[in-house]
Amino acid sequence: MNRDSRLSLVLHALLHMAEQPGPMTSEALSRCLGTNPVVVRRTMGLLRTVGLVTSDRGHAGGWRISADISAITLRQLHEALGEPVLFAIGNRHENPDCLVEQAVNIALDSAFAEAEALLLERFAEVTLADLARDFRRLHAARRDGKEQTCSMM
């Protein structure tokens, strides 16, 4: 099963946007993210649908964060992305009549549900502003002459 990395991509993009005074184009964001501008537009479009970002066309256009970053939680972003599966592990369903398989699936389903609830609860507590603070702290500590790997920083 492939991992859905859109939450990571969106967080990366939004942190870049939060550090810029003006809008960022899909092309500029795609360079920061190491992906295609079409991927940026599709993914950011999901955030635009729920009012977290806006976009303007034209020469001075691009993407902007439209909400206070201290009010944007990881949970909101996860939901805006369609609530992708959080865990890449799952149950076997090859022999649904097997009582052993049923017992295993009941135990795993319960554990997965508890873990997902806990993770979503934590996502609701972490804001984009929290991540921006962490980034700024790391960036300040890194001012040791080492070259930054992100082209926008």
User: What is the Cα–Cα distance from 64 to 26, expressed in whole angstroms?
Assistant: 11
- Within its chain, how far is the Cα of 65 from the centroid? 14
- Write out pLDDT tens, residues 81-94: 999 988 888 888 89
**Structural domains in the chain (count):** 1
Indicate whether 118 belongs to any domain.
Answer: no
Q: Which residue has the tokens 């964060």?
A: 65
Indicate whether 149 belongs to any domain.
Answer: no
Indicate whether 93 belongs to any domain.
Answer: no
pTM across the whole model: 0.84
Indicate whether 123 belongs to any domain.
Answer: no
Indicate whether 136 belongs to any domain.
Answer: yes
Tokens coding 3: 């991992």
- Write out pLDDT tens, residues 2-59: 778 999 999 999 999 999 999 999 999 999 999 999 999 999 999 999 999 999 998 8
Alpha-carbon Rg of the chain, whole angstroms?
19
Containing domain of residue 69, as a range? 6-88+128-141
